[in-house]
């Protein structure tokens, strides 16, 4: 390629040299494979890759566990990493009611594959808000809530975070320690400044309520606070109703903005109402909040990526303007959400019989997890494994935060082919009566042989 550039000024000369490098002109930098020069744009155009300088990124700390598990040929391998429900036979579960809803959708020849509106399926949004805020929610009655369909929990959190980063006066979000590994990334990439508040006490394997109140008590006024609505991930430790009330009073008195992540409604206790109680306390006081809602776990719609973001406002006209701005956030990100998962959810939530059937299946999943807690606790006690394992039955939801350290986790993976996140979290939903003895043996060996 010919490129002519001539100029007398030194800055123009520098630009000329740079341009010649970019187009691979005669003054191109020499290619030395050991130097970073090999990674210059020139090398890409000359034949090497412009991406050659990239280092191999690490696997995701949660989803990467499945990648490692899939590579393991051992017949006794057990995946307790990702939070995905498994049956007693260790198989993924598609709920009967979901199959029914899908059949109904397929049979309906009037259905088309047109684009949804930017905010998603209107009926899904309405029903999702009702499910999480309650059928009798004053905020819904007064049209003070705007709900947009998003890509499961992560997508809902991201849209909410982008919206806050753009339109909310405070750019700091406080997240609990520990929290789900994706939270800090979602908020930081949206442009919020991420700070932490104490949540978990390793000594009691319970809530550090004093630390939580102190940290949020000294948070900058107006800051955003991430709260897990129920079944805190990864610890399985939730505040009591009385503690929630104290948290509510503190947030409201300091003008802090609650941003709820609700990934387990109905999945924690088996009851849709009690698992939404924390959120409803904040909505009942007439104040504002954001709620990210996921149907991955409670309807088993993991890969359908179906969720919703609700923003509860103080007045209907504000909610309308908030929605108009959410559309501006969503449109350049993914334009509009997918139709299938939201249609399944809407079909189940709109029909009384299907809704009832869903609640039964949901309760069965929650009960199986609760029974796994009991079985594992009993087995460790019977085995005489050193330590107090009562937190296994006290914690709630999909995960047990075992207290096993990174070295013990690695040992269990290497010697027993048990896969879990390195922080010692295990997905109780991946366990079954058949695999409890194997896990018990592995935990026993880890705590007795690895410091
Ligand atoms: C988990 O915590 O295992 C789940 O929420 C899955 C995920 O995306 O991390």
Q: Which of 244, 275, 297, 389 is catalytic?
A: 297
- Of 252, 208, 215, the residue nearest 232 (C-alpha): 208
Q: How far is the CA of 433 from the centre of ligand 1 (A)?
A: 23
Instruction: Tell whether ligand 1 has an atom less than 6 A from the beta carbon of residue 62.
Output: yes
Point out the domain boundary residue: 350, 384, 401.
Answer: 350
The domain that holds 235 is classified in CATH as 3.40.640.10
If asked whether residues 378 and 415 sit together in one domain, one would say yes
Distances (CA, A) of 302 to 84, 111, 403: 8, 23, 27
Instruction: Check if 389 is active-site.
Output: no
Report if residue 170 sits inside a domain.
yes
If asked whether residues 266 and 329 sit together in one domain, one would say yes
If asked whether residues 390 and 281 sit together in one domain, one would say no
Atom in ligand 1 nearest the alpha carbon of residue 82: 3
Q: How far is the CA of 180 from the centre of ligand 1 (A)?
A: 7
φ, ψ of residue 245 to 5 degrees: the values are: -65, -40
If asked whether residues 326 and 380 sit together in one domain, one would say no
Task: Give pLDDT < 50 ranges for the chain.
Answer: 1-43
If asked whether residues 227 and 162 sit together in one domain, one would say yes
Evaluate whether 224 touches 194 at the Cβ level (below 8 Å). no
Q: How far is the CA of 84 from the centre of ligand 1 (A)?
A: 8
Instruction: Tell whether ligand 1 has an atom less than 6 A from the beta carbon of residue 83.
Output: yes
Q: What is the pLDDT of residue 47?
A: 74
Instruction: Tell whether ligand 1 has an atom less than 6 A from the beta carbon of residue 174.
Output: no
Instruction: Check if 136 is active-site.
Output: no
Q: How far is the CA of 62 from the centre of ligand 1 (A)?
A: 6
Q: How far is the CA of 405 from the centre of ligand 1 (A)?
A: 20
CA atoms of 374 and 89, how far apart (whole Å): 18
If asked whether residues 340 and 198 sit together in one domain, one would say yes
Instruction: Tell whether ligand 1 has an atom less than 6 A from the beta carbon of residue 266.
Output: no
The pTM assigned to this predicted structure is: 0.89
If asked whether residues 17 and 37 sit together in one domain, one would say yes
The domain that holds 70 is classified in CATH as 3.90.1150.10
- Residue with the smallest CA separation from ligand 1 atom 2 is 83
Atom in ligand 1 nearest the alpha carbon of residue 180: 2
Report if residue 75 sits inside a domain.
yes
- Of 281, 394, 402, 302, the residue nearest 344 (C-alpha): 302
Report if residue 110 sits inside a domain.
no
If asked whether residues 373 and 431 sit together in one domain, one would say yes
Q: Which of 100, 180, 244, 389 is catalytic?
A: 180
Atom in ligand 1 nearest the alpha carbon of residue 154: 8
If asked whether residues 334 and 210 sit together in one domain, one would say yes
If asked whether residues 159 and 268 sit together in one domain, one would say yes
Evaluate whether 259 touches 292 at the Cβ level (below 8 Å). yes
State the virtual CA torsion across 239, 244, 245, 250 in degrees, nearest 10: 110
If asked whether residues 274 and 311 sit together in one domain, one would say yes
Angle (CA) 147 332 149, round 5°? 20
Report if residue 356 sits inside a domain.
no
Instruction: Check if 261 is active-site.
Output: yes
- Of 102, 85, 83, 82, the residue nearest 93 (C-alpha): 85
Report if residue 273 sits inside a domain.
yes
Mutate to test the pocket of ligand 1, among 60, 85, 182, 429 (most ligand atoms within 8 A of CB): 182
What residue numbers bound the domain in which 420 lies?
63-94+365-449
Q: What is the pLDDT of residue 46?
A: 59
- Residue with the smallest CA separation from ligand 1 atom 1 is 83
Report if residue 106 sits inside a domain.
no
Atom in ligand 1 nearest the alpha carbon of residue 234: 2
Atom in ligand 1 nearest the alpha carbon of residue 263: 5
Report if residue 48 sits inside a domain.
yes
Report if residue 274 sits inside a domain.
yes
If asked whether residues 302 and 418 sit together in one domain, one would say no
Evaluate whether 178 touches 200 at the Cβ level (below 8 Å). yes
Q: Which of 100, 215, 238, 261 is catalytic?
A: 261
Report the domain count for the chain.
Answer: 3
- Of 261, 237, 301, the residue nearest 181 (C-alpha): 261
Report whether the peptide linkage leading into residue 446 is cis, meaning its omega lies within 30 degrees of zero.
no
Evaluate whether 152 touches 374 at the Cβ level (below 8 Å). no
């Amino acid at each position: 390629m010919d490129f002519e550039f001539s100029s007398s000024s030194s800055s123009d000369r520098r630009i000329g040299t740079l341009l010649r490098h970019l187009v691979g002109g005669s003054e191109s930098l020499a290619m030395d494979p050991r130097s970073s020069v090999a990674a210059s744009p020139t090398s890409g155009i000359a034949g090497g890759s412009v991406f050659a300088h990239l280092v191999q990124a690490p696997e995701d700390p949660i989803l990467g566990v499945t990648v490692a598990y899939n590579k393991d040929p051992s017949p006794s391998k057990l995946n307790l990493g990702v939070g995905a429900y498994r049956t007693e036979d260790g198989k993924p579960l598609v709920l009967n009611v979901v199959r029914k809803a899908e059949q109904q959708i397929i049979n309906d020849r009037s259905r088309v594959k047109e684009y949804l509106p930017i905010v998603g399926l209107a009926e899904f949004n309405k029903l999702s808000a009702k499910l999480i805020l309650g059928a009798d929610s004053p905020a819904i009655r007064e049209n003070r809530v705007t709900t947009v369909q998003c890509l499961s929990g992560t997508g809902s959190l991201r849209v909410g975070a982008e919206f806050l980063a753009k339109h909310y006066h405070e750019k700091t979000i406080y997240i609990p320690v520990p929290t789900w590994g994706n939270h800090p990334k979602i908020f930081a990439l949206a442009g919020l400044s991420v700070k932490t508040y104490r949540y978990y006490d390793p000594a009691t394997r319970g809530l550090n309520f004093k630390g939580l109140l102190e940290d949020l008590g000294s948070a900058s006024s107006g800051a955003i606070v991430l709260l897990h609505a129920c079944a805190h991930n990864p610890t399985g430790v939730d505040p009591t109703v009385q503690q929630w009330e104290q948290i509510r009073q503190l947030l409201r008195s300091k003008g802090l903005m609650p941003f709820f992540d609700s990934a387990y409604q109905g999945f924690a206790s088996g009851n849709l109402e009690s698992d939404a109680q924390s959120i409803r306390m904040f909505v009942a006081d007439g104040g504002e909040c954001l709620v990210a809602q996921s149907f991955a776990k409670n309807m088993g719609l993991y890969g359908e990526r179906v969720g919703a973001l609700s923003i509860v406002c103080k007045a209907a006209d504000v909610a309308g303007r908030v929605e108009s701005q959410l559309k501006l956030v969503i449109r350049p990100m993914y334009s509009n959400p997918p139709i299938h998962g939201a249609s399944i959810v809407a079909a189940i939530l709109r029909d009384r019989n299907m809704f009832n059937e869903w609640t039964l299946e949901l309760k069965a999943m929650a009960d199986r997890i609760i029974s796994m807690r009991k079985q594992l606790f009993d087995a460790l006690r019977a085995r005489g494994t050193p330590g107090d394992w009562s937190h296994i039955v006290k914690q709630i939801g999909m995960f047990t935060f075992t207290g096993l350290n990174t070295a013990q986790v690695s040992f269990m993976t290497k010697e027993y082919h048990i896969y879990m996140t390195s922080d010692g979290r295990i997905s109780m939903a991946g366990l079954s009566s058949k695999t409890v003895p194997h896990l018990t043996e592995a935990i026993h060996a880890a705590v007795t042989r690895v410091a």
